[in-house]
Chain A
């Protein structure tokens, strides 16, 4: 990161508790202006709470933050004038039509011509034909596009996107990604939370990995992957009873630690060298262990988590904080 570039967000030691749960637990964040910053973590890691803190919806129990140069505790009104929030749960009014939603928000923001602006955005986001339908009839992709459009009635200096593509089909996901890229080209800073490593990888210049409300890693996508290993070998056996034997064989052939997956027939290992993976598979075949399926690919969020924290990502979901 260029140390001289202005910071859109600078947070130090943010803490937010809900009852006994420390949803955000001493979180530090430095987001350079004009970039897409990815916040990666499983459900309950504290991503949404962090966004709600920085978007002035919650007050931190401890810590300090500056957003766009304004103090979070002292100048929330200045921050609200310059940010937009597209929340994880539809931040549009389901009972209103798409057009009415944008007109309502446009009027509240004091746009000179809210109706014209709404029509323009609806057209641009390919929602012109659904403009007069209530949002509750929208598909997931349409709803998300409207939600993003609602954040762009005027171009914010900083846009919070809380899991913008969760639950979307691949095409809708691609469209939302395109919109985010275009927006950053206009100079907006985007703080994006996601559960998908691929999404952070596709969009974000820098990524912070959070778990239990704390930062466990920060860096570019390449840096994070390097810390995990470049590839992951997954093997699914014909017979679960062979797993122990297969595990020993793989460990010997590849020379790495082999992890057991939840599936009783599956094994997983971090292998950076494809030749090594091939040799390990050959060792299984030579020993007569039946393999039904194998793959060598990029580490998933689970594997990033495993490598960084030593526990699987879904273990963190048990103590998800209330979202309301």
Chain B
């Protein structure tokens, strides 16, 4: 996808005072363009919508504020609050915590997908999209592709603050790239859940509330902050199947250079299941009239 700016637009040929005859000549010249024979495919439509998401970020970079600030806050808070008590020192704890904070940050960022989509769908431009010959899921898939830029930015910020505090991945730079890729695939998959919420409910704040209700227990009843060894048995059982915990395990292993196919498979199972169920559901809801 291209993030390049559109070229400067030529100044108008018409004078600034649009007396109808001037308008007429210029407009008449601009009319009569024929429908192109070649129609863009599904992928091209999705990429164009991802481009739309990116230029929206460029026009309002402040919308990345939470993507930037939240990871910094979480990393600092958890490292210094729990570090001494749990592992003897913040630095030692950070080595355990950082992969978990990555997952937590990206997981929370996926809510944004639903929130933005819900706001977007109520706008008149979607009437135009829906009256155009487009690949139907393109606006949604494109927006979700565009969101991977958020996941990547917030992940990189976690890594940077981690490095400043002394975190070092066992397996070096390559493992960071692999972890980023895994996180993006995971986030894209579970993003379908919040996309479905966005299409199901009326207001963005309801999307927010619903999403937190799902994510808070998943995030805290996990292995992100502590090893589940000291948890009661029933909670350990939950952590064992918690998708957030599974992806945390896979990310830890990846950064330690010990990733097994099994761990990655388990980590991607929930995103795959969510996609299989929610993507068709989201499409049906999107096709539904509004």
Interface residues of A (CB under 8 A from B): 52, 55-59, 77, 80-85, 87, 89-97, 99-100, 103-105, 107-112, 115, 117-129, 131-132, 134, 150, 152-155, 160, 174-175, 178-179, 182-183, 186, 324
Please name all residues of chain B whose beta carbon is closer than 8 Å to the beta carbon of A117 when the two chains form the complex.
Answer: 33
Q: A110-B39, A125-B27, A175-B20 are in contact. Are A91 and B125 (CB under 8 A)?
A: yes
Instruction: Give residues 1-39 of B contacting A (CB, 8 Å).
Output: 6-14, 16, 18, 20, 23-24, 26-36, 38-39
- How many residues does chain B have at the interface if contact means C-beta atoms less than 8 Å apart? 52
A122-B12, A129-B11, A175-B23 are known contacts. Are A85 and B125 too (CB-CB below 8 A)? no
| Residue interface bits B257-270, CB-to-A below 8 A is 1, else 0 | 00000000000000
For A89, the closest partner residue in chain B by CB is B124
> Is the beta-carbon distance between B131 and A57 smaller than 8 angstroms?
yes
- A-B contacts, 5 of them at CB < 8 A, read A90-B125, A92-B128, A109-B36, A121-B30, A122-B9
* Structural contact, A118 and B9, CB atoms closer than 8 A: yes
Of A83, A110, A115, A324, most buried by chain B (CB within 10 Å of CB) is A110
Alpha-carbon distance A91/B124, docked complex (angstroms): 4
| B289 (CB) vs chain A CBs: closest residue | A58
**Of the 9-residue stretches B54-62, B90-98, B157-165, which lies at the interface with chain A?**
B54-62
Task: Kindly list the 5 A-B residue pairs having the minimum CB-CB distance in the complex, ordered from nearest.
Answer: A128-B12, A124-B30, A131-B9, A91-B128, A89-B124
Cβ contacts under 8 Å, A108 to chain B: 40, 45, 48, 129, 132, 134, 138
**Among the listed A87, A115, A125, which residue makes an inter-chain contact with B128, where contact means beta carbons less than 8 Å apart?**
A87
- Whether A123 pairs with B123 at a CB distance below 8 angstroms is no
Give the residue name and chain of the B residue nearest to A95 (CB): B56
Is the beta-carbon distance between A154 and B131 smaller than 8 angstroms?
Answer: no
What residues of chain B lie closer than 8 Å to A110, measured between beta carbons? Answer: 36, 38-40, 44
B127 interface residue (CB < 8 Å to A): yes
Closest A residue to B47 by beta carbon equals A107
B153 to chain A, nearest CB (A): 19
Is the pair A94, B123 in contact by a Cβ cutoff of 8 Å? yes
- A81, B289: Cβ atoms under 8 Å? no
**A25 CA to B48 CA in the complex, in Å?**
39
Closest to B30 in A: A124
- Which residues from B are CB-within-8-Å of A111? 33, 36
**Interface presence of B51 (CB below 8 A):** yes
**From B12, B32, B36, residue with most partner A Cβ within 10 Å:** B12
Whole-angstrom distance between the alpha carbons of A80 and B128 in the complex?
A: 10
Assuming the A-B contacts A89-B124, A117-B33, A126-B14, are A96 and B59 also in contact, with contact meaning beta carbons closer than 8 angstroms in the complex? yes
Please report the C-alpha to C-alpha distance between residue A129 and residue B39 in the assembled complex, in whole angstroms.
Answer: 31
Is there contact, CB below 8 Å, between A115 and B27?
Answer: no
**A179 and B27 form a contact (CB under 8 A):** yes
B interface vs A, CB < 8 Å? Answer: 6-14, 16, 18, 20, 23-24, 26-36, 38-40, 44-45, 48, 51-52, 55-56, 59-60, 122-125, 127-134, 138, 289-290
Name B13's contact: one of A105, A123, A160, A178 (CB within 8 Å): A123
With A57-B131, A85-B127, A174-B20: A183-B31 Cβ-Cβ less than 8 Å: yes
**Chain A proximity of B120: nearest CB distance (Å):** 9
Whether A80 touches B131, Cβ cut-off 8 Å, given contacts A91-B125, A110-B40, A155-B33, is yes
> In the complex, A153→B51 CA distance in Å?
19
- Provide the bound-state CA to CA distance between A52 and B290, in Å: 10
Other-chain contact of A124, B14, B16, B125 (Cβ < 8 Å): B14
A155 and B31 contacting across the interface, CB-CB below 8 Å: yes
Given contacts A57-B289, A112-B36, A129-B16, contact A95 B23 (CB under 8 A): no
A254 to B8, CA, bound (A): 66
Given B36, B122, B129, B130, which contacts A324 in the complex, CB threshold below 8 Å?
B122
The complex places the Cα of A82 from the Cα of B9 at a distance, in Å, of 28
List 8 other contacts, CB 8 Å, given A119-B9, A134-B59: A85-B127, A87-B127, A110-B38, A111-B33, A122-B12, A125-B27, A154-B35, A178-B20
C-alpha gap A273/B56 in the complex (Å): 60
Known A119-B10, A154-B33: A95·B60 in contact at CB below 8 Å:
yes
A234 to chain B, nearest CB (A): 32
CB–CB A120/B30 < 8 A:
yes
A55–B40 Cα gap in the complex (Å)? Answer: 21
Report chain A residues within 8 Å CB of B8: 132
| A residues near B45, Cβ cutoff 8 Å | 108
Which residues of chain A have C-beta atoms less than 8 A from B10's C-beta? 119, 123, 128
Question: Closest residue of chain B to A84, judged by CB?
Answer: B131
Q: How far is the CA of A109 from the CA of B122 in the complex (A)?
A: 22
Contact B33 A124 (CB under 8 A): no
* Contacting pair B131 A59 (CB below 8 A): no
**Chain B positions within 8 Å of A109 at CB level:** 36, 40, 132-133
Min CB–CB distance B289 → chain A (angstroms): 5
* Bound Cα distance A103, B16 (Å): 23
Contacts of A150 in B (CB 8 A): 128
Q: Residue of B at shortest CB range from A16?
A: B289
Closest A residue to B11 by CB, please name it.
A128
Once the chains bind, are A123 and B59 in contact (CB under 8 Å)? no
Given contacts A108-B48, A118-B9, A152-B31, A124 and B132 within 8 Å (CB-CB) = no
Contact B122 A83, beta carbon cutoff 8 Å: no
> Taking A91-B125, A107-B48, A111-B36 as contacts, is the C-beta distance between A132 and B59 under 8 angstroms?
no
Q: Of the candidates B38, B44, B133, which one forms a contact with A81 in the assembled complex, judged by CB atoms under 8 Å apart?
A: B133
